[in-house]
Chains A and B, each alone.
Chain A
């Protein structure tokens, strides 16, 4: 198969810019990145279908080889799903702004707790719950008595 360098360039640039945005904290910026990457993926799939050609619509006259219809069907599905995802993320960003006054993606609180435990050289809460015994060691009564 022949590779179309223009489409390769476009897809790669959209990916790169999308990932740059994806690594941001602001959820709406992440969302813009997702949209950009979504388009990049679509161009990638399109390019994988081979060379450009007439639209894949069967004409009565017959004629030249058309563009590959399968990637197109896949992309069509992808476009609409991207719309659904975008809308959902947007609603999440909005909700986040409503509640917290910003739409930044927060660091996980549980992970922060574990980091504090690690810094303090302590065992996990589950360990403290189950392993740390209230009862004295099985042998201690005699040792105390003796």
Chain B
């Protein structure tokens, strides 16, 4: 079974490209897959009739106990035959139905075959979870098929409606499946049937499972999606209505009835809703003028009928349900395909415009009459024998209960409903045949082009089967008996035959046919009555009200909660933090906290400075003032680090704070002096209150966590590890490049992103222009060239690049004198970092500061002279070096980022103690230098250029502006 299932999905995958080669002929090719599957399935027939279940298990997710478990009994066999047979012939029909240039054919071909595969998988699943997976697959593919034409709003809406309704039921069903599986200890269908749940769980599960079935099978009150789904192309409707999708719900009811029929609520639901559906569908079918819509409501009616029979849960009813399902599939497939032929050849489906089609398409009319007769329940067709068996089964229930315990009034009500429904069926069948084929007075005869063979053969096959199977009651009885055997024997042994003798069932059939004929004959009167009886209340309108209500509620809720202001969102988040974890903190604070005022006397002194600076920062209204004050707080923090015993932190913080300060100033020179010119707003008090609350929460958090910390710190072993494995004495730095090197790796990535982000925000298009060396600047005409040697460098190039009033010779000279010393210092920090304060970060920042000073002293050309490399290249190289040094140990059988210690004797210098993590640190160094260079080039040089450009533009604009 798995191969035929897989073949469907494989065909679905290759179908779209094949459409490009074969056009609409591809459907003939695709039809091979279901038809070949049909052949294989047919070959299993004898075994199935003999009572052998065909089974196949393939492990899927062993850890969850999930497997692709497939099994086929008589019920599954009949459905699988229908799914593949109708699917295959409808595909053949598609080759005629679609125009060669039909848009969307590519995806349609794949969706259709996949839908057939999903349906086949659904009926063959022996595991309820697997069944659910296929169930939802049919939902998804039916959505794609119904919404075949996304350009039409109606098509989209119909697809969405089908999706929402069936998914809603599907989710309820999933919960039901989980309840059932939990109770049975297994999701296998056979296990569930063997040990069905009992008590309240059973009732809940039954209702949930039925919710899935009635939504899928378009039973009242969810019937409205099916007529809407006729927005799909007619072949899809034929398949959807006859063999797939809506049959899934009936299948589920038929499958589970042996276990659930006696559960409270099961019979009541299926009988009442099914009868109501049969009547509503038939009643509304009588009102339609679109013959396809008429058939769609007819399907709703028949689905109600099937739900009644499948849900009854007696041996005779189960027997009759499968017979009726088979009959319905055959006649409904024929009728829909006939509608497609009429629609395409006559150009309309409106029965008020169709006239004389029967004369021009006599064979098609004959096929429709055969199928219609089966639908109305006329002998000698399958529809008749099936309906007789249904009536017999329902009469048994009404008479004696037939072991169901259904009260007599309900049993008779169902019989009455079914007879009335059959009368409506007969009436709308006549209306359909008359509407599609009759020659009507006063209506211009339709022009009809004859259809091709591919159009007529499939409905002919189905009609022939409807007729043939009417005469083969004997073999069918054997097959259906095998299916019904899971129920105890009832009042009468069910039998499919054309002649039972004169009995109640036959009389009821004659009654319903007579009433149907009468209703058709008096159709004008019926229409008047119907027009008078319309109610404003309909399931579809309720659905739209519900969806609109949900949407409106979402809009209101979103409008109330999503104010679009970052500040408000942050406030909400912060207040939640203050209230929820804050409350827990207050409770926890009752535990004793051990505290000291300070560890050394320097701390409170620095703390005062930091606190004052922080408060003043918050109050500052000038940008520069705020930045300087936050710098003071930052330097204070560096001092606190030092006092706590963290020289590495102090060093890095000091450097970072300096860089931040300068970078801020570089940007702030362009921004207005004040943050805002808005007047002070009362909301600042709210912000201050939130800030205060958050501060209190943070303080409590620190007190509580401090009190809660009792375990030995993980870092206790770091000292020995640093020396033994990391080969260094500075534990913090060894932690960065060895013990926790992955963190540093991630941090490097963040820096690269930040640097790239800054550069792209300033330079918009590319990272900087090409670096311009001073020697490339042309001399002004008035200046006499000093030298002829291009490579000769000027010691202080600012003379040619900066305006004299912007220069400070002393600053330039001092900078040039100190530059190399600072670079040497940074290299020293890089190398000594393993044992003493320093390391890649600090060294990179020092180098960056050296470059920064060069830029400040001599402008952007000076910066390019000092570092004639592209920042991107530096960053890339740095990241590469770090990554390579991390991966290198793998080549020596080590792990990623492992360090090795190498002692080399170097002449002149002496013993060199080399740790390989130094290379990693070099990578860090390069990335940091690259970041610094990027910042200087973007926020320094880049903004310089923009200022110059604006000055030039305003100078150029000024004279003309003044003259005008």
Query: For residue B660, which residue of chain A has the nearest CB?
Result: A86
Query: For residue A67, which residue of chain B has the nearest CB?
Result: B645
B687 at the interface (CB under 8 A from A): yes
Q: Contacting chain A: which of B73-81, B96-104, B729-737?
A: B729-737
A100 at the interface (CB under 8 A from B): no
Residues 3 to 20 of chain A near chain B (Cβ within 8 Å): 3-20
For the complex, give the distance between the alpha carbons of A85 and B664 in Å: 13
**B66-103: contact bitstring with A at CB < 8 Å (1 yes, 0 no)?**
00000000000000000000000000000000000000
Partner of A58, one of B528, B647, B723, B750: B723
Partner of B646, one of A39, A46, A94: A46
Specify which chain A residues have a CB less than 8 angstroms from the CB of B633 in the assembled complex: 14, 36, 39
- A1 in contact with B938 (CB, 8 Å): no
- B544 in contact with A73 (CB, 8 Å): no
For the complex, give the distance between the alpha carbons of A118 and B554 in Å: 9
For the complex, give the distance between the alpha carbons of A20 and B599 in Å: 29
- A133 in contact with B157 (CB, 8 Å): yes
For the complex, give the distance between the alpha carbons of A94 and B574 in Å: 27
B341 at the interface (CB under 8 A from A): no
For the complex, give the distance between the alpha carbons of A35 and B438 in Å: 85
Specify which chain A residues have a CB less than 8 angstroms from the CB of B531 in the assembled complex: 142-143, 146
- A44 in contact with B698 (CB, 8 Å): yes
Specify which chain B residues have a CB less than 8 angstroms from the CB of A2 in the assembled complex: 594-596, 706
- A80 in contact with B614 (CB, 8 Å): no
B598 at the interface (CB under 8 A from A): yes
Specify which chain B residues have a CB less than 8 angstroms from the CB of A55 in the assembled complex: 645-648, 837
Partner of B695, one of A15, A66, A87: A15
Which bracket fits the contact residues of B? 35 or more
CB distance from A50 to the nearest CB of B (A): 7
- A131 in contact with B157 (CB, 8 Å): yes
**B646-689: contact bitstring with A at CB < 8 Å (1 yes, 0 no)?**
11110011001001100110011011000110000000100110
- B762 in contact with A95 (CB, 8 Å): yes
- B646 in contact with A72 (CB, 8 Å): yes
B786 at the interface (CB under 8 A from A): no
For the complex, give the distance between the alpha carbons of A142 and B611 in Å: 81
Partner of B598, one of A6, A15, A21: A6
Partner of A84, one of B603, B729, B931: B931
Given contacts A1-B594, A14-B610, contact A76 B841 (CB under 8 A): yes
Q: Contacting chain A: which of B284-292, B400-408, B772-780?
A: B284-292
Specify which chain B residues have a CB less than 8 angstroms from the CB of A66 in the assembled complex: 645, 719, 731
Partner of B706, one of A1, A22, A110: A1
For the complex, give the distance between the alpha carbons of A56 and B728 in Å: 12
- A93 in contact with B736 (CB, 8 Å): no
**B260-292: contact bitstring with A at CB < 8 Å (1 yes, 0 no)?**
000000000000000000000000100111100
- A17 in contact with B618 (CB, 8 Å): yes
- B664 in contact with A36 (CB, 8 Å): no
For the complex, give the distance between the alpha carbons of A77 and B844 in Å: 14
Specify which chain A residues have a CB less than 8 angstroms from the CB of B293 in the assembled complex: 138
CB distance from A141 to the nearest CB of B (A): 5
B590 at the interface (CB under 8 A from A): no
For the complex, give the distance between the alpha carbons of A81 and B757 in Å: 14
B754 at the interface (CB under 8 A from A): yes
Q: Contacting chain A: which of B512-520, B708-716, B821-829?
A: B708-716
Which bracket fits the contact residues of A? 35 or more
Instruction: Give the interface centre of B290, B747, B928 by most chain A CB atoms within 10 Å.
Output: B747
- B156 in contact with A5 (CB, 8 Å): no
- A24 in contact with B687 (CB, 8 Å): yes
**B537-563: contact bitstring with A at CB < 8 Å (1 yes, 0 no)?**
000100010011001101110111011
- B551 in contact with A94 (CB, 8 Å): no
CB distance from A8 to the nearest CB of B (A): 5
Specify which chain B residues have a CB less than 8 angstroms from the CB of A51 in the assembled complex: 596, 599
- A76 in contact with B528 (CB, 8 Å): no
CB distance from A101 to the nearest CB of B (A): 9
Specify which chain B residues have a CB less than 8 angstroms from the CB of A47 in the assembled complex: 702, 706
Query: For residue B598, which residue of chain A has the nearest CB?
Result: A6
Query: For residue A118, which residue of chain B has the nearest CB?
Result: B559
- A42 in contact with B735 (CB, 8 Å): no
Specify which chain A residues have a CB less than 8 angstroms from the CB of B7 in the assembled complex: none
CB distance from A68 to the nearest CB of B (A): 5
Given contacts A52-B599, A69-B718, A87-B663, contact A24 B675 (CB under 8 A): yes
- B709 in contact with A1 (CB, 8 Å): yes
B566 at the interface (CB under 8 A from A): yes
- A21 in contact with B617 (CB, 8 Å): yes
For the complex, give the distance between the alpha carbons of A5 and B598 in Å: 6
For the complex, give the distance between the alpha carbons of A59 and B835 in Å: 9
For the complex, give the distance between the alpha carbons of A94 and B696 in Å: 34
CB distance from B640 to the nearest CB of A (A): 6
- A121 in contact with B671 (CB, 8 Å): no
- A16 in contact with B695 (CB, 8 Å): yes
Partner of A3, one of B154, B611, B706, B939: B706
B593 at the interface (CB under 8 A from A): yes
B626 at the interface (CB under 8 A from A): yes
- B564 in contact with A68 (CB, 8 Å): no
For the complex, give the distance between the alpha carbons of A135 and B630 in Å: 65
**A57-72: contact bitstring with B at CB < 8 Å (1 yes, 0 no)?**
1110000001111101
**A33-51: contact bitstring with B at CB < 8 Å (1 yes, 0 no)?**
0011001101110111111
For the complex, give the distance between the alpha carbons of A84 and B29 in Å: 61
B852 at the interface (CB under 8 A from A): no
Instruction: Give the interface centre of B555, B653, B660 by most chain A CB atoms within 10 Å.
Output: B555
For the complex, give the distance between the alpha carbons of A36 and B559 in Å: 33
Given contacts A10-B640, A58-B729, contact A3 B596 (CB under 8 A): yes
Specify which chain A residues have a CB less than 8 angstroms from the CB of B841 in the assembled complex: 76, 80
Given contacts A5-B596, A17-B614, A23-B571, contact A142 B761 (CB under 8 A): no
Specify which chain A residues have a CB less than 8 angstroms from the CB of B644 in the assembled complex: 7, 46, 49, 52, 67
Instruction: Give the interface centre of A72, A108, A146 by most chain B CB atoms within 10 Å.
Output: A72
Query: For residue A117, which residue of chain B has the nearest CB?
Result: B555
Given contacts A32-B627, A43-B637, contact A77 B758 (CB under 8 A): no
For the complex, give the distance between the alpha carbons of A107 and B732 in Å: 43
- B607 in contact with A9 (CB, 8 Å): yes
For the complex, give the distance between the alpha carbons of A134 and B154 in Å: 7
- B564 in contact with A70 (CB, 8 Å): no
Specify which chain A residues have a CB less than 8 angstroms from the CB of B595 in the assembled complex: 2-5
- B596 in contact with A58 (CB, 8 Å): no
Residues 86 to 118 of chain A near chain B (Cβ within 8 Å): 86-88, 90-95, 97-98, 103-105, 107-112, 114-115, 117-118
- B750 in contact with A119 (CB, 8 Å): no
- B736 in contact with A73 (CB, 8 Å): yes
- A12 in contact with B695 (CB, 8 Å): yes
CB distance from B762 to the nearest CB of A (A): 6
For the complex, give the distance between the alpha carbons of A55 and B647 in Å: 7
For the complex, give the distance between the alpha carbons of A145 and B739 in Å: 84
- B597 in contact with A5 (CB, 8 Å): yes
- B754 in contact with A84 (CB, 8 Å): yes
Given contacts A2-B596, A6-B607, A142-B289, contact A16 B757 (CB under 8 A): no
For the complex, give the distance between the alpha carbons of A111 and B95 in Å: 49
Specify which chain B residues have a CB less than 8 angstroms from the CB of A110 in the assembled complex: 564
Query: For residue A15, which residue of chain B has the nearest CB?
Result: B698
- A105 in contact with B566 (CB, 8 Å): yes
Specify which chain A residues have a CB less than 8 angstroms from the CB of B643 in the assembled complex: 52
CB distance from A2 to the nearest CB of B (A): 5
A-B complex: 8 closest residue pairs judged by Cβ atoms = A118-B559, A111-B564, A16-B695, A84-B754, A67-B645, A108-B564, A3-B706, A20-B691
27 contacts between A and B (CB under 8 A): A1-B710, A3-B702, A3-B703, A17-B617, A23-B691, A44-B702, A49-B644, A57-B730, A67-B645, A67-B646, A70-B714, A72-B646, A75-B646, A75-B649, A80-B656, A80-B747, A80-B928, A83-B656, A91-B667, A104-B676, A109-B564, A117-B559, A118-B559, A123-B552, A123-B555, A127-B548, A131-B551
Taking A29-B675, A80-B928 as given, write out 12 further A-B residue pairs in contact, using a Cβ cutoff of 8 Å, ordered by the A residue number. A8-B703, A13-B695, A28-B623, A39-B637, A74-B743, A80-B656, A83-B931, A90-B667, A93-B671, A103-B671, A143-B534, A145-B289
